[in-house]
Amino acid sequence: MLTNFVVPDLYPAAAELFLLTMACVILVVDLFAGSARRWLTGSLTLLTLVGCAVLTYWNFGDNASLTFANMFVDDPLADFLKLLVYASVIVVLIYGRDYMAERDLDKGEYYLLVLFATLGMMVMISAYNLLAIYLGLELLSLSLYAMVAIDRDSPRATEAAMKYFVLGALASGLLLYGMSMIYGATGTLELGLVAQSVQEGVANRTILTFGLVFLVAGIAFKLGVVPFHLWIPDVYHGAPTAVTLFISSAPKLAAFAMALRLLVSSLFGLAEQWQTMLMLMAVLSIGIGNLAAIAQTNIKRMLAYSAISHMGFMLLALMSGVAGSEVDPMALINAYSSAMYYSVAYVIMSLGAFGMVLLLSRAGYEAENLEDFKGLNKRSPWFAAVMMVLMLSMAGIPFFVGFFAKFAVLLAAVAAKHVVVAVVAVMFSLVGAYYYLRVIKLMYFDPPADSAPIRAGFDVRILLSANGIAVALLGLFPDTLMMLCTATLVRSL
């Protein structure tokens, strides 16, 4: 048996191997550095992410490379999403540095959990095998459970972590059961062979359909869409804000990649079945997310329900690639690139919104209620303007990146002959604009509830300003990001 062992090509997975090695090194360094040199762990974590970005960029190419017995794929889609994940995690660490330090939470385990969660996302993005997808997902999920509960003195954080763990374990079980049914029907775990088996009609259609239902349920939980959304508000509210920022950003990109690999790369032959399921979840998510957000007084819970509606829009684009039984290659690319464009745009907006919440927080004070934004224009006109840009973009007001992301999704839905669904999405978006505009009203028309000066490091101020400017510039030049998404998918699908 040993003579048949083939040494896998490690080059496509260089970034993953580097991150894993550095995580082990940082673990040992943190053990000997002690609390006096805590900054060293954070600095090494940032350098590790930069190193991963360099390796991924160096490995960027037009061709797909399979390794580890076809369990791992390195293609333009994987490389592009990984670069976005690195950038998101770096921004999260910089935004949350002071917040975590003031609460004595910036310990070595926090940075290690961030690195292992990032590794899980990288594996999910590059997985070309059902088992590899599950391993990456569990590595990410287990890291997130611990991160939510990292403030052991907070009953709210502990409760949120327990809810997340129980519901997450249930969703993982559903996903794994669906994968086992797919394996039983096709006799393979490799995504390409699953697609071939489905396309040729060799697999049992009934078992495949049941497996598909469980797969979609698992994907829906990780995206946080209705009816698997109940964990989102409690976890966003209960977790430390820096952890909430992490959960709301980079994992959305990994969940999008998982949905694309599972539904498009392997189960495209069942598109008519999963299209219907995604349509129902998209409409319910956009409706319930926007309506529930109106009633919130806590901005973290408001943004949690907002995330549900935004992921509904992403699903709306993902289900628009097929118009009935017709398969138009250009329509496919337009729909999936719109879904990818929306995911990236949402992550950029979410980073800025939660970054503003972190900016207003300080030692012993959580700026998580809407009243905390009262009179922000009088305290800091510039950051009030940044928050206004972010809220207008999330509401889909022209001419910011959020508007063009929604517009691209609606165009894809109309092209796929889902006009009624597109109209319903627009109506609920108009309703949802209320709670975004309410934040702007509080900042500009109400007297300040807190006169304490806004204190933040120079790098945080610059990065947060750049985040707001990026939302505005990507709205003025929307084709740049859309062309990147389209070119990436054309070379990968």
User: Which of 127, 74, 168 lies closest to 254, judged by CA?
Assistant: 127
| Rg, the chain, Cα only | 22
What pLDDT score was predicted for residue 107?
86
Q: Say what the pLDDT of residue 362 is.
A: 80
**pLDDT of 323 strictly over 70:** no
Per-residue pLDDT tens over the stretch 131-148: 999 999 999 999 999 999
- Residue among 293, 340, 290, 362 at smallest CA distance from 493: 340
- pLDDT for 1 equals 45
Q: 104 or 93: whose pLDDT is higher?
A: 93
Q: Which helix (H) or strand (E) holds 175?
A: helix 155-186
**Mind listing the pLDDT tens digit for each residue in 130-189?**
999 999 999 999 999 999 999 988 899 999 999 999 999 999 999 999 999 999 999 999
**Has residue 36 got a pLDDT over 70?**
no
Q: What is the structure's pLDDT at 250? A: 93
Residue 356 has pLDDT above 50, yes or no: yes
Q: What percent of the chain has pLDDT over 90?
A: 75
Query: 3-class SS at 65?
Result: strand
Share of the chain above pLDDT 70, in %: 97
Mean pLDDT of 310-334: 81
- Residues 440/356, Cβ–Cβ less than 8 Å: no
- Type and span of the H or E element at 461: helix 458-476
By mean pLDDT, which of 116-120, 360-364, 397-401 is the weakest? 360-364
Indicate the domain borders of the chain. 8-492
